[in-house]
């Protein structure tokens, strides 16, 4: 909550600078961005969930409102900066994301994920989101996608029973259409649910723990 509030205060500070539609950043404003980036890096140090949450906030603010060029410039820089950190940290664990994706496809070739045409765009097209969020929660990306495929064939919709695309958590999402924000919320809920289940099992079975990570 502290980091989230800090980012909102940061955003309010950006808003207070002013508005102009033909924006040419001054040296002072560029230095301000550098300072803000440094503060963000310090705030999210060692906290990948906070990193993902801040990136998603910056991304949604940048595309969700009508912004003048000056504000849009700042939001884009913050968004891209956070995304770069996210990608760099992922690459420390897997050097080539494309190779990892190919390995995932090869591994699950017989399951239908790679061979069924309707699933290609849905399962694999949303791989970056599932991969980034799985990284944030230190959870295997392949397992996140496998559960989604197993439960709803990677469908980008809300099933009639209201249990969401992962069908594991006891939470009602309604049914019908699904947008990005709600989809990311269902992923978050699934990951938190799964991590708690694993932690509960491991606490009762310390000699045979489940060891899963990104």
**pLDDT per residue over 147-190, tens digit each?**
999 999 898 999 999 999 999 767 899 988 899 999 999 999 99
Same domain, 101 and 199: yes
Residue 75 located in a structural domain: yes
Greatest mean pLDDT among 24-28, 32-36, 145-149:
145-149
pLDDT (average), residues 184-203: 96
Same domain, 141 and 162: yes
pLDDT at 134: 96
Look up residue 46 and give its two tokens. 């060692």
Look up residue 91 and give its two tokens. 């690459």
Residue 165 located in a structural domain: yes
Burial 120-144 (b: 16+ CB within 10 A, else e): eebbbebbeebbbbbbbbebebbeb
Same domain, 158 and 140: yes
Last residue of one domain, picked from the residues 93, 127, 151: 93
Same domain, 27 and 68: yes
Last residue of one domain, picked from the residues 67, 93, 119: 93
Same domain, 114 and 160: yes
Per the structure, the complete domain to which residue 173 belongs is given by 97-204
Same domain, 80 and 101: no
Same domain, 78 and 101: no
Residue 210 located in a structural domain: no
Same domain, 61 and 101: no
pLDDT at 48: 93
Same domain, 134 and 196: yes
What's the residue count for the chain?
214
pLDDT (average), residues 176-205: 95
User: Is residue 17 scored above 60 in pLDDT?
Assistant: no
| Average model confidence (pLDDT) across the chain | 80
Count helices and strands (H / E) in the chain.
9, 0
Same domain, 102 and 88: no
Residue 213 located in a structural domain: no
Same domain, 122 and 200: yes
pLDDT (average), residues 49-61: 88
Look up residue 53 and give its two tokens. 């949450």
**Which strand (E) or helix (H) includes residue 214?**
none
Count of other CB atoms within 10 angstroms of residue 60: 15
Lowest mean pLDDT among 13-22, 120-129, 142-151, 169-178: 13-22
Last residue of one domain, picked from the residues 43, 66, 93: 93
Using DSSP, state whether 4 is helix, strand or coil: helix
The count of domains in the chain is 2
Residue 45 located in a structural domain: yes
CB 86 within 8 A of CB 52: yes
Q: How confident is the model at residue 9 (pLDDT cuts 50, 70, 90)?
A: very low
Closest CA to 164 of 136, 189, 139, 141: 189
């Amino acid at each position: 909550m502290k980091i989230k509030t800090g980012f909102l205060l940061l955003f309010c500070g950006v808003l207070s600078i002013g508005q102009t539609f033909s924006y040419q950043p001054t040296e002072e404003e560029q230095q301000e961005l550098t300072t803000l980036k440094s503060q963000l890096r310090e705030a999210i140090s060692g906290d990948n969930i906070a990193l993902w949450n801040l990136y998603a906030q910056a991304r949604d603010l940048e595309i969700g409102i009508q912004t003048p060029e000056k504000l849009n410039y700042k939001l884009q820089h913050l968004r891209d900066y956070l995304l770069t950190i996210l990608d760099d940290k992922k690459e420390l664990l897997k050097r080539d994301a494309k190779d990892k994706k190919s390995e995932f496809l090869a591994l699950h070739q017989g399951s239908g994920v790679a061979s069924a045409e309707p699933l290609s765009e849905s399962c694999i097209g949303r791989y970056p989101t599932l991969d980034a969020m799985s990284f944030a929660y230190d959870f295997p990306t392949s397992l996140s996608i496998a559960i989604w495929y197993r439960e709803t064939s990677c469908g980008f919709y809300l099933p009639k029973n209201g249990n969401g695309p992962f069908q594991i958590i006891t939470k009602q999402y309604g049914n019908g259409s699904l947008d990005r924000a709600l989809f990311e919320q269902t992923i978050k809920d699934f990951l938190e649910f799964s991590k708690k289940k694993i932690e509960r099992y491991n606490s009762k079975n310390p000699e045979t723990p489940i060891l899963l990570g990104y």
